[in-house]
Structure 1
Amino acid sequence: MLPASLPKSAAYILPASTLIALGHPNLLGPLFLHVTGHNATAPTTPLPPAETRTISLHLRDMLLKEWTLTGIPLVITAVSSLGLAEQEAGLFPADAASTFDRNADWNTTTTPPPSQPDDQRHHPLGTTSTLSPRYSTSTTSTNPLDLAPNTPTSVRGATHLHRLYRHHLPAITRTWASHEADFRWLEESVIYGLFLSDDAVLSALETSLVTASAIVAQGLKPPSLWHLRGLRRLGLARDDVEGVVRVVGECAVWAGGRVGGVRGEEDEVGEWVGWVGEV
């Protein structure tokens, strides 16, 4: 069902993003175990540690971006599902120190005490949770956490917004009226600047698959149409965009959802992508 032009990661990114937006965040852990082959029902043997870690990092980055689309409660529930699944599969120690522990340094990777058995000291996903370098405190002028207008992060966000919306953006933001300045900052510096334009883990196309699927799954037609068009502007053919909508619809039919979103029927798919030909 997935178009051949999509990256292989779309096979788990699209259903993961969609299921969370549909209101099923507890399915992320089982999905991860199935995709990586670390549960009894997986059709294949477990993936090598490097591939397992890549998928884990992809899903983490998806969650760090999807909260801007669905809200934080669904995403926090999803990350708990993912983390517990990783621990149950032995991919990460169940007794690792919490970064909320007063004695834990969340920026430093530590090695478990030598008294621990060897099989407890080596895990594909590491032995402690450490902060991603892009979020670490920096004193340089390119500090990614500097979210003021016209800083590098804000400019990056604005550039990505224009890449997706092009000449349509001013007309959209004018509808915000007296609230435009604050919400332009939110979009350029935080939502896009810090998260959706960041391609350190997921590519721009992979991130747009997260964005489009999460919005379509919620039945929000106007923003869905903009982001389906955004997929075209990132290089996807119209038929491939239709394929993305069908995948979201199949997930909705299988799992059910909180709202009446797209269901993937042919006439419905045509309606949802009917005006994305303009790029």
Structure 2
Amino acid sequence: MPPSNPRLLALFENVQSQFPTATLGEEKWFLVVLSALTGIGKPNLAADLYLYLTQLPQYSTSGARQILIRRLREVLVKSVSIIGVCRPLEAIFCIDAVTKEEDKEFSYSRQDWKCDEANHQRGTNWLMKLYGENLKPIDETFDSHRDFGWISREITYGLYLSDHHILDGVETELVVLSGIMVQDLPKMTAWHLRACRRIGISMEDCEGIQKCIELVVDFADVKLSPMPRAKDIEHEV
């Protein structure tokens, strides 16, 4: 069923129409919406997003809805590393409450995870792809705050963000950028705009993604600090 709130319905339709689907592909716009709504403090609206999506023709079968659930859940799992556990947990509870029994999805994506050398290397490799030479000063800060260095490599990137079995690298960065920007974090927003460019998202598409995030921000009546734009970090790419 469509959301009963006309502003929420307009939000979904506007993001869907404005998202750079032609270049980034179908079924990615709602990753931005879910991450942004959850990060900005509206996790209960995850249920409305899910119900809206299930009315679309591509999710007309139970099998398709189970794949959808897996992708939405992965957005929220990755969001734990960006915004903490409570809001993503609230969002998944809200989605589960409106999911039909035949559409429930029982897979477990990280049952074989180990905090081992392979995890460390996978996290480090993805960090290097996104940050490159910009990682060095961050690591130097971590030299005197080693707990955060360990969390970054082994957990944030090793466990969460370098796992691309369900959401690929571009999709993961859509989740990360959205979740960071709505928390009013200009410096880290700039880092992940730069990361988006480094993994192949065009400057024009980065701007389009930011405008979609801003639609969620406007819907939530939240005021953010001035945010960097893709053109501002282009010289670092």
Pick the TM interval, shorter chain. Answer: 0.7 to 0.9
* Alignment pair present for 1:244 and 2:209: yes
Aligned to 1:207: 172
2:111 aligned to which of 135, 147, 158: 135
CA contact (8 A) 2:203 2:231 kept: no
Unaligned runs of 5+ in 2: 1-17
The number of residue pairs the alignment matches comes to 218
Q: Deviations over 1:94-142 (max 9, x none)?
A: xxxxxxxxxxxxxxxxxxxxxxxxxxxxx1335xx4533x324xxxxxx
The 5-angstrom pairing of residues 170-209 of structure 1 reads 170-179=136-145, 181-209=146-174
In 2, the alpha carbon distance for the partners of 1:176 and 1:158 equals 14
In 1, the alpha carbon distance for the partners of 2:107 and 2:67 equals 16
> 1:244, CA displacement in angstroms?
0.7
> 1:182, CA displacement in angstroms?
2.6
In 1, the alpha carbon distance for the partners of 2:82 and 2:62 equals 30
In 1, the alpha carbon distance for the partners of 2:209 and 2:53 equals 19
1:227 aligned to which of 173, 177, 192: 192
1:24 aligned to which of 33, 39, 42: 42
> 1:75, CA displacement in angstroms?
1.0
Q: Deviations over 1:48-72 (max 9, x none)?
A: 2222111111011111110111111
Aligned to 2:64: 51
Of Structure 1 and Structure 2, the greater helix share is in 2
In 2, the alpha carbon distance for the partners of 1:254 and 1:208 equals 22
Q: Which amino acid aligns with 2:19?
A: L
Larger CA deviation: 236-245 vs 170-179: 170-179
- What SS does the aligned partner of 2:34 have? helix
Q: Deviations over 1:19-59 (max 9, x none)?
A: 1111000000110110111xxxxx76962222211111101
Aligned to 1:124: 103
> 1:171, CA displacement in angstroms?
1.0
CA contact (8 A) 2:45 2:91 kept: yes
* Alignment pair present for 1:157 and 2:123: yes
Aligned to 1:84: 97
In 1, the alpha carbon distance for the partners of 2:215 and 2:122 equals 34
CA contact (8 A) 2:58 2:64 kept: no
TM-score where L is the length of structure 2: 0.85
> 1:156, CA displacement in angstroms?
0.1
CA contact (8 A) 1:238 1:276 kept: no
In 2, the alpha carbon distance for the partners of 1:46 and 1:209 equals 22
In 1, the alpha carbon distance for the partners of 2:208 and 2:59 equals 28
- What SS does the aligned partner of 1:183 have? helix
In 2, the alpha carbon distance for the partners of 1:28 and 1:81 equals 7
Looking at both structures, which has the greater relative contact order when contacts are Cα pairs under 8 Å and sequence separation is at least 6?
2
Q: Deviations over 1:165-201 (max 9, x none)?
A: 000101122233411x332221111110011000110
Q: Which amino acid aligns with 1:190?
A: I
Aligned to 1:167: 133
TM-score where L is the length of structure 1: 0.73
Percent identity of paired positions between Structure 1 and Structure 2: 28
- What SS does the aligned partner of 2:103 have? coil
1:274 aligned to which of 219, 231, 236: 231
